[in-house]
């Protein structure tokens, strides 16, 4: 028997955005319902869905109030907040009210699809227990992440980004030298661009690339990786400042750099969760 499609509810007052996103998601096998305001979105969630994607800024009942009501009525339903007006305080409010994650517009469709699937699989996986208050980046740094080198082939990055096991950013990978100094970064979007046969031709999706890894050219990461001054976090920086940097840069993960060396990564979802507590 085939697996049942994931039931997704999109709640956003931007009707054209919702309808376009719903069309894209249905083409990827999701069962999609839509709502264009808070009250109708809450009512739709109460009828039963797996994952809710909820806009923060809506007239009348805003996203945070809709989130609160959805979690009261359907505490097991995972909610992803989506916003074009990211700020730390709203992110903290969203995590405090039970949102699984806080994403920023424009959100790449492949990134959103991956996050929805993760939310669907996370039923009994909750946040790490907090035994004492965390205030600094070094207190919630993940020391375990995949280290790549500039000479590694593009296929190596594709393999890492499609693996589900272990702790990594999964959206952005870091290329280091032999002394763990940051040389560059590479994302799923970079790999998709590298695999596109013609710059003026039709775009390909992440799912198409993972199904056809032979489309990647036989090149090292050095040929594609992004270089320059990276957005990074110092281990002694407070969590609020780290959150502001990630929101401003529209990234959900930062490398933690101490004395010029990458010592781990810090994730936006962890930062907002600890700030909420």
Q: Which residues contact 73 (CB under 8 A, 6 or more apart)?
A: 42, 45, 46
- 7 strand-pairing partners: 31
139-185 pLDDT per residue, tens: 888 877 788 999 999 999 998 888 744 334 456 889 999 999 999 99
Report how far apart the first and last C-alpha atoms of the chain are (Å, whole number).
Answer: 43
Q: Report the predicted TM-score, pTM, of the whole model to 2 decimal places.
A: 0.62
Average pLDDT, the chain: 85
**Cα angle 272, 276, 277; round to 5:** 120
Query: Is-contact 134 274, C-beta < 8 A?
Result: yes
CB-neighbour burial class of residue 151 (10 A; exposed 0-12, middle 13-18, buried 19+): exposed
Q: Which domains does the chain show, CATH number per domain?
A: 7-120 (3.40.50.2300), 137-186+219-276 (3.10.580.10)
52-101 pLDDT per residue, tens: 999 999 999 999 999 999 999 888 889 999 988 878 888 888 888 889 88
In the numeric block, the tokens 């969630």 are attached to: 45
Q: Which residues contact 110 (CB under 8 A, 6 or more apart)?
A: 188, 192, 205, 206, 207
């Amino acid at each position: 028997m085939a697996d049942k499609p994931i039931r997704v509810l999109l709640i956003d007052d931007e009707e054209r955005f919702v309808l376009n996103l719903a069309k894209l998601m249905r083409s990827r096998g999701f069962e999609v319902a839509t709502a264009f305001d808070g009250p109708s979105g809450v009512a739709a969630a109460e009828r039963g869905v797996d994952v809710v994607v909820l806009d923060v800024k809506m007239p009348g009942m805003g996203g945070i109030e809709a989130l609160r009501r959805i979690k009261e009525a359907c505490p097991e339903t995972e909610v992803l907040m989506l916003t074009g007006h990211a700020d730390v305080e709203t992110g903290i409010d969203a995590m405090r009210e039970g949102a699984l994650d806080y994403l920023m517009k424009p959100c790449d469709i492949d990134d959103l699809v991956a996050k929805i699937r993760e939310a669907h699989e996370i039923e009994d996986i909750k946040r790490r227990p907090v035994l004492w208050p965390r205030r600094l980046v070094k207190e919630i740094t993940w020391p375990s992440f995949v280290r790549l080198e500039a000479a590694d082939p593009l296929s190596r990055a594709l393999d890492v980004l499609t693996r589900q096991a272990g702790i990594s950013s999964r959206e952005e990978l870091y290329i280091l030298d032999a002394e763990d100094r940051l040389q560059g970064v590479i994302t799923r979007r970079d790999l998709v661009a590298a695999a596109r046969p013609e710059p003026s031709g039709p775009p390909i999706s992440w799912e198409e690339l993972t199904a056809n890894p032979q489309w990647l050219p036989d090149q090292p990461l050095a040929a594609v990786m992004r270089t320059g001054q990276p957005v990074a976090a110092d281990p002694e920086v407070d969590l609020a400042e780290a959150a502001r940097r990630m929101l401003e840069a529209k990234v959900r993960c930062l490398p933690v750099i101490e004395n010029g060396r990458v010592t781990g990564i810090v994730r936006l979802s962890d930062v907002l969760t600890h700030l909420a507590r």
